[in-house]
Amino acid sequence: MKRRIIHTQDGSTTLEIEDWGEHYHSMRGAIGEAYHVFIRQGLELFAGQEVQLLEIGFGTGLNAFITFLEHERLRQTIHYEGVEAYPLTPEEVACLNYTEILEVQQKQAFFQQLHSAPWEETVSLSPTFTLKKRLQSFEQISDQVRFDLIYFDAFSASVQPELWTEAIFERMYKALKAGGILVTYASKGSARRAMQAVGFKVEKLPGALGKRDMLRAKKEME
């Protein structure tokens, strides 16, 4: 999987998979998209709470990083688990400029720690933030009633349609606690119908940076 670093419109970096023409983040702005989809429409719903959080596609670590930056403002304790099948190399991580664009250069060591932390181990990165990185494919996820919030940040259905099926969303549904939330940048009708078919209540929300829609799905209270 050949990848290269490129810049998005807000100046923040992302990766492109050259053979697919697929990007890890929106070309309209990696940071802007991440804040809109995952923080404003996901994390902020759990202000003042202890949150068990699963990310589907740890990737560049951007979502984990901004979750850490925001969780103190939101008075949260975060237990973060990120699933990734193809981790970035140290050379790729060194090219990411999120601390510079966010003007939090003093957090660069923490950002590096997100990537250097061992896989398959829970590590405490602060008194209120733990991280576990899981080296596995999404099809291998078998958690049962564990998470309050899922960041579903898989590659798009145009290049990996197998990640946007009822089979995958059934795994997500089972992984969530009752009342749990899944948020994703995607808005395709096929994804929405797959979510609904396994029991999610799905709503369309305004998308990030000019994108019309995104989806938020809820596992109803039993």
Q: Where are the alpha helices (DSSP H) in the chain?
A: 30-34, 62-71, 90-94, 98-101, 108-116, 166-175, 189-197
**Domain contains 5:** no
Per-residue pLDDT tens over the stretch 89-139: 999 999 999 999 999 999 999 999 999 999 999 999 999 999 999 999 999
Percent of the chain residues past pLDDT 90, beyond the cut: 93
Spatial distance between the Cα atoms of 191 and 31, rounded to a whole number of angstroms: 24
- Residue 41 belongs to a domain: yes
Do the domain assignments include residue 188?
yes
Indicate the number of domains in the chain: 1
Q: In the prediction, which pLDDT does 152 show?
A: 98
CATH number at residue 158: 3.40.50.150
Confidence (pLDDT) at 221? 80
Residue at 81 is within a domain: yes
Structure tokens at 192: 């929405």
The answer to whether position 1 is within a domain reads: no
- pLDDT tens per residue across span 153-190: 999 988 999 999 999 999 999 999 999 999 999 999 99
Which residue range forms the structural domain that includes residue 208? 34-90+104-218
Q: What is the pLDDT of residue 211?
A: 84
Question: Which pLDDT score, from 0 to 100, does residue 167 have?
Answer: 97
Q: Is residue 169 one of the residues assigned to a domain?
A: yes
Q: What is the CB-side half-sphere exposure of residue 222 using CA atoms within 13 A?
A: 8
Q: Report the Cα 198 to chain-centroid distance in Å.
A: 21
Residue 197 in domain? yes
Q: Is residue 130 part of a domain?
A: yes
pLDDT of 67 above 90: yes
pLDDT value at position 209? 85
